[in-house]
């Protein structure tokens, strides 16, 4: 299973765009890239998933370069409520959810 | 539409005791995964159940066992509790082990 590396923490201000990059050099051909958000004492919440190029939904965008060795989660115009830990996961053959590996995540702190 | 529900939300045990945690998956989901999350760490995969069988297992000892019932609900059992088993135990469900994982709020276990 591919290991991921992401910054331990990031700081931002309300209204800014935040980009969190994740490295996954050993990603396999069938692996998907998935991002989850977690607030203290709550379970993680799915944000977005992609395989290649760009994926966008109502809360975020996911950019994946052609070599797929990294990915960037983009959060437009963050607010205080976006303060959370963000996890980048790689795996899940064909999008399967079994045995997904969470790293230590990126703690995003949004200030007023 | 009820999401993933877990019980109990908090419990305290002493070393050597046994504990059972319960999980009801999101309506329409048939696959349940269990994760252990120590303080300040990302969730660690314990195992996944589908069709009442353990399909995948993470790096956890045999003290950790589980069960899935015909209604897709699941139990996590931990025997001979150690201090290091203190953690937030998360249950996540999905449909046929694919796509987005939906997490419960977790069961906070404290071992004294």
Could you read off the pLDDT tens digit of each residue along chain B, which spans 112 residues? 679 999 999 999 999 999 999 999 999 999 999 999 999 899 999 999 999 999 989 999 999 999 999 999 999 999 999 999 999 999 999 988 777 889 999 999 999 9
Q: Taking all residues of chain A, what is their mean pLDDT, rounded to a whole number? A: 91
- Band of residue A103 on the pLDDT scale cut at 50, 70, 90: confident
| pLDDT higher than 90, residue A72 | yes
- Band of residue A31 on the pLDDT scale cut at 50, 70, 90: confident
Q: How many CA atoms lie within 13 A of B50 on its CB side?
A: 16
Residues in chain B with CB shorter than 8 Å from the CB of A97 are 31, 33, 48, 92, 94, 97-101
For chains A and B, CB pairs below 8 A equal 64
- Band of residue A100 on the pLDDT scale cut at 50, 70, 90: confident
Q: In terms of pLDDT, which residue wins out, B12 or A100? A: B12
> Between B4, B48, B102, which is nearest A98 by CB?
B48
Looking at residue B83, what DSSP letter applies?
G
Q: Are B34 and B95 in contact (CB under 8 A)?
A: no
Q: Residue B21's beta-bridge partner residues?
A: B76
Tokens of A30: 């069938």
Which of A76, A64, A58, A70 has its CA nearest to residue A12? A76
Q: How many CA atoms lie within 13 A of A4 on its CB side?
A: 29
How far apart (Å, rounded) are the C-alpha atoms in residues B103 and A75?
22
In this prediction, residue A112 carries a pLDDT of 95
Strands laid side by side in the A53-56 sheet: A18-23, A70-75, A61-64, A53-56
In this prediction, residue B99 carries a pLDDT of 78
Cα dihedral A40→A41→A43→A47 (10° resolution): -10
Q: Are B87 and B61 in contact (CB under 8 A)?
A: no
Tokens of A17: 């765009």
Largest CA distance in chain A: 41
In this prediction, residue B77 carries a pLDDT of 98
Tokens of A54: 């760009």
Q: How far apart are the CA of B57 and the nearest CA of chain A, in angstroms? A: 7
In this prediction, residue A41 carries a pLDDT of 85
């Amino acid at each position: 299973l591919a290991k991921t590396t992401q910054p331990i923490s990031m700081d931002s201000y309300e209204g800014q765009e935040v980009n969190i990059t994740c490295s996954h050099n050993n990603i396999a051909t069938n692996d998907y890239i998935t991002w989850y958000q977690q607030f203290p004492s709550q379970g993680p919440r799915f944000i977005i998933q992609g395989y290649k190029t760009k994926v966008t939904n109502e809360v975020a965008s996911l950019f994946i370069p052609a070599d797929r060795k990294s990915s960037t989660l983009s959060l437009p115009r963050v607010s205080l409520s976006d303060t959370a830990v963000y996890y980048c996961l790689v795996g899940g053959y064909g999008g399967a959810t079994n045995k997904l590996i969470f790293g230590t995540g990126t703690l995003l702190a949004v200030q007023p | 539409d009820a999401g993933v529900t877990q019980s109990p939300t908090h419990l305290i045990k002493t070393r050597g005791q046994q504990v059972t945690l319960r999980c009801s998956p999101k309506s329409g989901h048939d696959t349940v995964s269990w994760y252990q999350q120590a303080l300040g760490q990302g969730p660690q995969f314990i195992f996944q159940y589908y069709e009442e069988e353990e399909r995948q297992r993470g790096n956890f000892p045999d003290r950790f066992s589980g069960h899935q019932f015909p209604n897709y609900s699941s139990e996590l059992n931990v025997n001979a509790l150690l201090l290091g088993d203190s953690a937030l135990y998360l249950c996540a469900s999905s449909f046929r082990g694919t796509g987005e994982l939906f997490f419960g709020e977790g069961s906070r276990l404290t071992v004294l």
